[in-house]
Amino acid sequence: MKKWLFLLCLLLIIPVRADAVSVSGKVTSQTSVRISLKGKSEYKYWRIRRIIHDKNGGYAGYKKIKLLKTSTKKYTVKKLKKNKEYDFEIAYGNKKDGKFKPEFYDYVYNVFTGVSRPCWHDYASSDAAFSTSYIDLWGFRESEGLAAKGIQIYRKVKGGSYKKIKTIKKQSFTFRDKKVKKGKTYYYKMRSYGTYKGKKIYSPWSETLKRFAGNKVGKFTSKIISSDMESVEIKLTSDKYNSALKMSPDAFFFRDGDEEEEVGLTITKYSLDGKAWKKPEKITLKAGQSIYLILETKGMQDLRDLKSIESDYVAYDSWPCFFYLDLNGSGSTPHNDEFIH
């Protein structure tokens, strides 16, 4: 069971406190967390247990930390590991026959024993702007953990080494990296930094963010090579600053008649040179590359008059996109936001 699902089950199944006392957790060092009570309780005791998770974040049991009287409002859990997230169960109750009997529960979640971590925005890969001259980065710093003074952003190209390109002092940020080269793919990571007892300390590294200095919306041109009633052959060319375009054989359709009824098209063959043909499963068109496609329909429509085709789902820069293509003209791949979001 995943960690978030386990915690949700606890909230739904186990009775939670109903009186005026509340509980909170705060990291006090890289190896300790202070658990605090606020308010008054009708019960005489409270028990702290650490929730143990397996390597996949699922529930793996509890470790008893301390049983205290509710007149004691604070307790520091020590000997924890650095840069790790901890969850605690707090039980309230009284003793019966010398044994503690829990009645209600509270929880302290996601206490992080390190400098507050930086994260990329959920849509930093899909929605943040980029072009052949800049790449925008969206990020923020979490509130959990020791106070951070700033965030360091590092960058590299494939096969290269990471170098620091920016230090940011804000809690959340948008940073525009203008020192990029057209058509290059870049990898970004970041870490927070702070001080503890006069020594500089760092958070763990963020996830790696892959970004491309090219066309955010793909640019394409097409040329009709031949056509008859049942099929049309086109040459499709990708701009040299495009990202890769991936499509399935049945991705395309055209709109027919006054009602613009959608009529499906199938790519039955493709070729890189117009001579050697292959049957497609998945088709990838790389930047600056041309590809020849033979499209057919199972309907009775005459494809000799075909002017444009489109798709609701191709992948451009690894994201779901529409594809609008004028035959003997140009095409583009705007994001399909319904799929992305």
**Which among 316, 323, 336, 334 is positioned nearest to 254, based on CA atoms?**
323
Which helix H or strand E contains 12, and what residues bound it?
A: helix 3-13
Hey, is 109 helix, strand or coil?
A: strand
Question: pLDDT grade, residue 302 (50/70/90)?
Answer: confident
Q: Tokens for 255?
A: 């709109």
**Calpha distance 172→138 (Å, rounded):** 8
For the chain, how many helices (H) and strands (E)? Answer: 2, 26
H or E element, residue 8? helix 3-13
Residue 20: pLDDT above 90?
no
DSSP letter, residue 341: -
Q: Is residue 7 scored above 60 in pLDDT? A: no
So what's the pLDDT on residue 18?
46
- Reported residue count of the chain is 341
Between vectors from CA 98 to CA 94 and to CA 99, what angle results, nearest 5°? 60
CA 295 from centroid of its chain's CA atoms: 35
Residue 12 above 70 pLDDT? no
- Once rounded to an integer, what is the mean pLDDT over residues 147-156? 97
Estimate to the nearest angstrom the gap between the alpha carbon of 90 and the chain centroid.
32
Interval 98-138: pLDDT, tens? 999 999 999 999 999 999 999 999 999 999 999 999 999 99
Q: In degrees, to the nearest 5, what angle opens at C-alpha 148 toward C-alphas 146 and 151?
A: 140
Give me the phi and psi of 24, to 5 degrees please.
-145, 160
**How far apart are alpha carbons 332 and 327 in whole angstroms?**
12
Average pLDDT, the chain: 92
114 versus 302: which is more confidently predicted?
114
Q: Given the DSSP bridges, would you call strands 85-96 and 99-112 parallel, antiparallel or unpaired? A: antiparallel
pLDDT surpasses 90 at 1:
no
Give the pLDDT confidence of 262-293 residue by residue, as tens digits.
999 999 999 999 999 999 989 999 999 999 99
List, for residues 246-267, the tens digit of each pLDDT value.
Answer: 999 999 999 987 778 899 999 9
Q: What is the pLDDT of residues 180-207, one digit of tens each?
A: 999 999 999 999 999 998 899 999 999 9
| Residue 158 confidence (pLDDT) above 80 | yes
Instruction: Give the span between the Cα atoms of 337 and 324, in whole angstroms.
Output: 15
Percent of the chain with pLDDT over 90: 85
